[in-house]
């Protein structure tokens, strides 16, 4: 079930503004049922709930995600200012890609108010402008997989090489990816993995042990084995 926390820097949220924006932006009909501090909708047989919570998100994992965030360098200072949050959840019956498309449209419209300072989709933490930029791809019939699958980087300062592992591929019925102790260029490896995630989800690819990816000139072998940083079996990209 997709879940998100939207961090606010005050104790107010205008659900009526969200409803108007959502309907106009995405051309989706819905009849919300709501009270003062919550809202619910049923769209494509999926139930969406959003509740205003007049307190901070207290999870230690949120602070850790902010501290290690390479995409939002001021995340730790930014989230420290939040005073309340919206808790957003949606049932994920049927096609997981369709579910995440709808969820991203909802989050996009929820982020349009000035008091929004961050969106936390465990374990990913995004600045609102970053989320909005990539969710806008939905208007061009593209999938914002950057928002759906988190790329974790570790050991990038060690001589034996750095590692990546993903969090979120299992939501689409896929094994997580791992790159372990590679000495390739960090940025090149990151963007290679980012594009492989997008290709896998967009084309519903299921990789097997012994498959390869890349061009004919630079075929990169894949293997399936017990995860190093992930508890289940993962697809190792042997860069």
- Least confidently predicted of 24-38, 97-111, 187-201: 24-38
Instruction: Give the Cα-Cα-Cα angle 4, 48, 106 (nearest 5 degrees).
Output: 60
Q: What is the 3-state secondary structure (H, E, C) of the chain?
A: CCEEEEEECCCCCCHHHHHHHHHHHHCCCCCCEEECCEEEEEECCEEEEEEEECCCCCCHHHHHHHHCCCCCCCHHHHHCCCCEEEEEEECCCCCHHHHHHHHHHHHHHHCCCCCEEEEEECCEEECHHHHHHHHHHHHHCCCCHHHCCEEEEECCCCCCCEEEEEECHHHHCCCCEEEEEECCCHHHHHHHHHHHHHHHHHCCCCCCCCCEEECCCCEEEEEEEECCCCCCEEEEECC
- According to the model, what pLDDT value does residue 31 have? 83
- According to the model, what pLDDT value does residue 156 have? 62
Q: Is the pLDDT of residue 158 over 70?
A: no
> Buried (b) or exposed (e) across 107-139, using 16+ Cβ within 10 A?
bbbbbbbebbbbbbbeebbbbbebbbebbeebe
Q: Are strands 116-121 and 124-126 parallel, antiparallel or unpaired?
A: antiparallel
Tokens of 14: 């205008």
Q: Tell the burial category of 26 from Cβ atoms under 10 Å away from its Cβ (0-12, 13-18, 19+).
A: middle
Query: Which is more confident, 180 or 8?
Result: 8
Closest CA to 103 of 184, 49, 57: 49
- According to the model, what pLDDT value does residue 1 have? 79
Query: Which is more confident, 222 or 216?
Result: 222
Q: Tell me if 86 sits within 8 A of 5, measured CB to CB.
A: yes
* Mean pLDDT of the region 61-72: 88
* Mean pLDDT of the region 192-203: 95
Nearest-angstrom CA–CA distance, 91 and 222: 33
Q: Is the pLDDT of residue 135 over 80?
A: yes
Q: 217: pLDDT confidence band, cut at 50, 70 and 90?
A: confident
User: How distant, in Å, are the alpha carbons of 66, 173, 207 from that of 97?
Assistant: 27, 10, 18
Task: Determine how many CB atoms are found less than 10 A away from the CB of residue 237.
Answer: 22
Instruction: Give the Cα-Cα-Cα angle 193, 199, 200 (nearest 5 degrees).
Output: 90
* Mean pLDDT of the region 7-11: 96
- 119 DSSP β-pair partners: 6, 126
């Amino acid at each position: 079930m997709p879940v998100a926390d939207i961090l606010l820097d005050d104790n107010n949220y205008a659900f009526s503004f969200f409803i108007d924006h959502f309907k106009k932006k995405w051309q989706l009909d819905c009849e919300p049922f709501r009270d003062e501090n919550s809202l619910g909708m049923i769209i494509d047989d999926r139930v969406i709930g959003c509740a205003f919570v007049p307190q901070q998100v207290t999870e230690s994992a949120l602070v850790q995600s902010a501290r290690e965030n390479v995409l939002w360098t001021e995340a730790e200072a930014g989230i420290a200012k939040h005073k309340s949050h919206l808790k957003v959840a949606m049932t994920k019956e049927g096609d997981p890609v369709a579910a995440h498309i709808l969820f991203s449209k909802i989050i996009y419209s929820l982020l349009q108010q000035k008091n929004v300072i961050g969106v936390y989709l465990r374990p990913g933490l995004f600045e609102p402008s970053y989320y909005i930029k990539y969710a806008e791809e939905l208007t061009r019939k593209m999938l914002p997989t950057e928002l759906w699958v988190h790329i974790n980087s570790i050991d990038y300062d060690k001589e034996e090489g750095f590692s990546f592992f993903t969090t979120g591929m299992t939501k689409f019925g896929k094994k997580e990816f791992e790159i372990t102790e590679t000495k390739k260029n960090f940025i090149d490896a990151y963007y290679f993995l980012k594009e492989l995630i997008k290709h896998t989800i967009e084309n519903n690819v299921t990789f097997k042990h012994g498959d390869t990816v890349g061009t004919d000139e630079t075929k990169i072998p894949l293997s399936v084995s017990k995860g190093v940083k992930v508890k289940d079996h993962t697809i190792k990209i042997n860069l």
